[in-house]
Amino acid sequence: MTTATQPRGETRTADRPFGPHTGPLRRATRWWPALLLVVLFIAPYSALPLPGLLDGPIGSPGNLQLLALCLVFGALATGYDLLLGRTGLLSFGHALYFAAGAYVTNTVMLEAGLPFALAALLGLLAGVALSALLGAVSLRVSGIGFSMVTLAFAQAGSILVQRDPGGVTGGEEGRAAPADKMPAALVGIDHTANLYWIALAYLVVVLAVVHWAVRSPTGRVWEGIKENERRVEVLGLRPYGFKLTAFVLAGALAALGGIVYLLLTGGATPQTTTSDFTLSLLVMVVLGGSGTRWGPMAGGILYTWADHRLGDLANSGAVAGLPAVLRVPLSQPLFLLGALFVAVIYLLPGGMARLPARLRAARTTTAREEATDA
């Protein structure tokens, strides 16, 4: 669109506010995931310190353990978003399939004496079967009814684990994984880097599977179900089958995450079976940005890092020396996490994933104003 003040042939368009190099720059930025993957892969070799973020060099065993947990929960939140952000299903029982992968794998090694690889396969199949069975029942209802049914299943699973039937779950203490059944390259502090790379591989697998699923014809039906399920029915499709597919796929990814978590922590614990665990996943997804490609991953990583680091801050001498009116709330990690969550919700509606779009919109508005003034 030309104006009287512009020379003939010159145009100003809303989609090119930054000049002719916007296209090449945008194409170049598409490679940032590959660059980030390379950085994450070489992290165990790094002696670079990150004061305030990590204690000591990045490649130290303690920091690699923390980073691996961040990657696992980033992947877990991404898988959970298949239900919440992609299909519009609010499940409160997702922790059950994560725990199934860890507990079944560990129990098979302990009770049947099978090696880790075979036990892990059985743990994954158990998570798939359990999600298919419970999903088939839960999806018979919708809305808040679906959420309550999944919560009931999760509570039943948590009680079962804590009751320790036959001594196979370890009750409130959990059970340590048998070191003699684990691969030697995954046991001991000297092999923390190997565990970190497994967590990174799990994240890559989840991102690839979710990206493929969302872009598939089934993924487009999921989007339609989230927007208007009745319209999908009018088109002659049965939403039940598509929702069950999302439920089972998310459950399978969660079970795989439970197996990786078992490797990282060296045992199966009942904390992974509680509904609070699923609520944490919900916070991760909302924090990062539900329904976005990278948001749930970012939310899971940030939440896990903050959960560990804020716990250290709450127990630090700096907080202990504060007046009681400040020391009491700041000594509670949940208070700090809650304050962080509320701040992000108010300052970044839609989660952290919406921040780049907001910045681009702000720059576009500024460029338009400058063009108008010119």
User: What does the DSSP assignment read for 79-95?
Assistant: HHHHHHTTT----S-TH
221-229 mean pLDDT: 93
Across 87-124, b (16+ Cβ under 10 Å) vs e yields bbbebbbbbbbbbbbbbbbbbbbbeeebebeebbebbb
DSSP code of residue 178? P
Structure confidence at residue 276 (pLDDT): 79
179-201 per-position pLDDT tens digit: 888 888 888 888 899 999 999 99
Structure confidence at residue 144 (pLDDT): 92
Structure confidence at residue 12 (pLDDT): 40
254-282 per-position pLDDT tens digit: 999 999 999 999 989 888 888 778 888 98
List of residues 6+ apart from 152 with CB closer than 8 A: 93
Binned at pLDDT 50, 70 and 90, residue 313 comes out as: low
Mean pLDDT of the chain: 85
List of residues 6+ apart from 56 with CB closer than 8 A: 49, 62, 63
Binned at pLDDT 50, 70 and 90, residue 63 comes out as: very high
Across 326-353, b (16+ Cβ under 10 Å) vs e yields eeeebbebeebbeebbeebeeebebbbb
Residue boundaries of the structural domains of the chain? 58-373
Structure confidence at residue 196 (pLDDT): 95
CA–CA dist 266, 264 (Å, integer): 6
CATH match for 58-373 among 1.10.3470, 2.40.70, 1.10.530, 1.10.8: 1.10.3470
Of 44-53, 139-148, 232-241, 331-340, give the lowest mean pLDDT range: 331-340
CA–CA dist 59, 45 (Å, integer): 6
Identity of the residue numbered 191: H
Q: Identify which of 214, 246, 73 has the alpha carbon closest to the alpha carbon of residue 146.
A: 246
Residue 25 has pLDDT above 60, yes or no: no
Binned at pLDDT 50, 70 and 90, residue 8 comes out as: very low
H-helix segments, the chain: 22-29, 32-41, 61-84, 95-107, 116-138, 144-163, 192-215, 217-227, 229-234, 239-265, 275-288, 295-314, 317-320, 324-330, 333-347, 355-373
For the four alpha carbons of 107, 108, 111 and 115, in that order, the dihedral sign comes to negative
Structure confidence at residue 104 (pLDDT): 95
Q: Which residues are bridge partners to 76 per DSSP?
A: none
Structure confidence at residue 300 (pLDDT): 93
Q: Taking a C-beta distance cutoff of 8 angstroms, is the pair 210, 82 a contact? A: yes
Identity of the residue numbered 126: A
pTM of the full structure: 0.85
DSSP code of residue 7? P
Which CA distances in Å does 337 have to 75, 326, 349? 20, 15, 17
